[in-house]
């Protein structure tokens, strides 16, 4: 059975990545097109809401889901963003912003029930992450764009590794680049860390160069989902998904 990977834990992208769905299609045919879907509040509401806003999973919700995983002998990879970026571009460390949730995950990781992965320091381009009045800000909710400076890649990788390893008291060996966006500068930054695997649905954006000492694992090997799925769809959805995975 494919393993499960859950992204976006601790990322403020769940509040600020606001964009509206303009095109509504069925079997490849557009049946409704609404060019103003990104205007003002529309992008936050059904049926236009493309991503945000939803809340972080609570400690209790995690307990419930961890129990389901345990019952099914699944050891999910939980991809944590090391800090929450607030409205004023402050970076708040995950254990400080969500202490109860963090402690549940730390305990589960200590008991080898989950594997913690690095999902970036910020998940976004800090300072460009707030919702726009009339446009989608989705692009700004990726962290490792190849055209961002070398220093940024390095600092974000080193700092997120430091924070996650310090709190979870274990080497972090997997990077899940936010939004599958990463490049040569990201790879270079990984070389002095404990990262041994990059998981994404595509290889580096700007290079086909093979990596030394780091393995690339494509998303096809996983059932990759987001905390958003758990928050919005709940346990019933998870049971159904697990059943599907078992039957695959």
- Using rule CB under 5 A, residue 8 touches Zn ion: yes
- In whole angstroms, what is the distance from residue 80 CA to residue 229 CA? 15
In whole angstroms, the minimum distance from the beta carbon of 28 to Zn ion comes to 27
Does position 227 interact with Zn ion (CB under 5 A)? The reply is no
SS3 assignment for the chain: CCEEEEEEECCCHHHHCCCECCEEEECCEEEEECCCCCCHHHHHCCCCECCCCCCCCCHHHHHHHHHHHHHCCCCCEEEECCEEECCCCCEEEHHHHCHHHHHHHHHHHHCCCCEEEECCCCCCCCCCCCCCCCCCCHHHHCCCCCCCCHHHHHHHHHHHHHHHHHHHCCCCCEECCHHHCCCHHHHHHHCCCCCCEEEECCCCCCCCCCCCCCEEEEHHHEEEEEHHHHHHHHHHHHHHHHHHHHHC
Binding part of the chain for Zn ion, among 132-140, 173-181, 214-222, 238-246 by CB under 5 A, reads 173-181
Q: Shortest Cβ distance from residue 119 to Zn ion (Å)?
A: 6
Shortest separation between residue 123's beta carbon and Zn ion, angstroms: 6
Distance of CA 201 to the CA centre of its chain: 13
Closest to Zn ion by CB, 42 or 92: 92
Q: Which one of 68-76, 128-136, 174-182, 199-207 is the stretch in contact with Zn ion (CB under 5 A)?
A: 174-182
Number of residues near Zn ion (by CB under 5 A): 3
Part of the chain binding Zn ion (CB under 5 A), chosen from 2-10, 51-59, 84-92, 128-136: 2-10
Stretch that binds Zn ion, among 4-12, 39-47, 158-166, 180-188 (CB under 5 A): 4-12
Q: Does position 178 bind Zn ion by CB under 5 A? A: yes
Q: Which residue number, 29 or 222, has a Cβ lying nearer to Zn ion?
A: 222
Q: How far is the CB of 43 from Zn ion (least distance, A)?
A: 18
95 lies in the binding site for Zn ion (CB under 5 A) = no
Residue 7 engages Zn ion in binding (rule: CB under 5 A): yes
Q: Given the complex with Zn ion, which of 221 and 246 has the nearer CB atom?
A: 221
Q: Should residue 20 be labelled a site residue for Zn ion when binding is judged by CB under 5 A?
A: no
Pairing of strands 23-26, 29-33: antiparallel
Q: Which stretch binds Zn ion (CB under 5 A): 30-38, 60-68, 94-102, 178-186?
A: 178-186
| Nearest CB to Zn ion, comparing residues 185 and 226 | 226
Closest separation in Å from C-beta 60 to Zn ion: 23
Alpha carbon 214 to chain centroid distance?
20
Owner of token pair 């307990």: 63
Describe the crossing of helices 99-110 and 59-71 by its angle, rounded to 10 degrees: 20
- In the complex with Zn ion, the residue whose CB is nearer, 10 or 178, is 178
Which parts of this chain interact with Zn ion (CB under 5 A)?
7-8, 178
């Amino acid at each position: 059975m494919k393993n499960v990977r859950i992204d976006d834990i601790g990322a403020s992208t769940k509040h600020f990545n606001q964009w509206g769905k303009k095109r509504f299609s069925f079997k490849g045919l557009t049946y409704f097109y609404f060019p103003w879907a990104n205007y003002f509040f529309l992008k936050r509401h059904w049926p236009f809401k493309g991503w945000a806003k939803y809340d972080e999973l609570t400690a209790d919700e995690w307990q419930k889901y961890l129990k389901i995983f345990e019952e099914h002998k699944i050891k999910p990879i939980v991809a944590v963003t090391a800090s929450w970026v607030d409205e004023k571009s402050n970076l708040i460390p995950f254990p400080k912003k969500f202490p109860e949730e963090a402690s549940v995950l730390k305990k589960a990781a200590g008991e080898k029930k989950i594997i913690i992965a690095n999902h970036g320091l910020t998940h976004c381009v800090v300072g460009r992450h707030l919702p726009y009045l009339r446009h989608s800000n989705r692009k700004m909710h990726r962290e490792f764009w190849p055209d961002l400076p070398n220093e940024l890649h390095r600092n974000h990788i080193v700092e997120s590794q430091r924070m996650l390893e310090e709190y979870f008291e274990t080497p972090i060996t997997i990077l899940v680049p936010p939004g599958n966006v990463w490049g040569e500068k990201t790879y270079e930054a990984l070389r002095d860390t404990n990262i041994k695997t990059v998981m994404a649905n595509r290889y580096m954006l700007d290079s086909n160069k093979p990596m030394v000492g780091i393995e690339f694992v494509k998303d096809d090997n996983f059932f990759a989902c987001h905390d958003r799925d758990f928050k919005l769809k709940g346990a019933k959805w998870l049971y159904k998904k697990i059943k599907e995975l078992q039957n695959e």
